[in-house]
Amino acid sequence: MAEIVQALPYPFSFNPLETVLLVIDMQRDFIESGGFGTALGNDVTPLQSIVPATLRLLTLVRKTGMPVIHTRECHKPDLSDCPPAKLKRNSLGLRIGDHGPMGRVLIVGEPGAEILDELAPIKGEIVLNKPGKGAFYNTDLSVVLDRLRTKFIIIAGVTTEVCVQTSMREANDRGFECLLAEDATESYFPEFKQATLKMIRAQGAIVGWTAKVSEIAEALNE
């Protein structure tokens, strides 16, 4: 077993052989200037700032041979998997399926729905398209984790309070022990990230633990 002594709210013990890294929605439309995130009126700079730490986390995990799963929030071209309530949610400009600077917004196969080049999956890594906020909804994630004999999940990605937190809560409800990499996750709203970190580790890690990438690296002897 490995242990992250500095994890909050208390040390996190995990078996690397039973652990996967789940990277949530590090997509161009959310992170690059001019994409969907910008169209919603957000400053994407905070999300861009975590790319180096996320790449470091990917690199050290890849060295260990730990499985990596990437998710992309995106929909079928005919929007048949996008509920009307989600489709009409944005009243600020571009909506899902509209034509934007990076192709149709959050549509499978469009440039904006792709993962950043710096964090692109490598051969053998799993990529799941998810139509909802959580990584388990309408995806094969449960099947994949079962096949990999997973008990522990290290989580990174965006945004902290929406897709990341939803996925972490879903995983917790399914019995997985979860750790969120603090400096490899971010929100358009800094206060939302901080509130989410507190909620996750409240009441003795009610949802899970948090730790910095450097602390994860130390536990993995990298």
Of 74, 82, 133, 163, catalytic: 163
Catalytic residue check, 74: no
Q: In this structure, are residues 160 and 194 in contact, taking their beta carbons and an 8 Å threshold?
A: no
Tokens 């208390």, located at residue: 10
Map residue 5 onto helix, strand or coil: coil
Other CB atoms within 10 A of residue 158 CB: 28
Of 130, 133, 193, 212, catalytic: 130
Amino acid at 122: I
d(CA 25, CA 155): 11
Of 25, 82, 178, 193, catalytic: 25
Catalytic residue check, 123: no
Catalytic residue check, 25: yes
- Token pair of 213 as six digits: 């990438």
What positions carry a catalytic annotation? 25, 130, 163
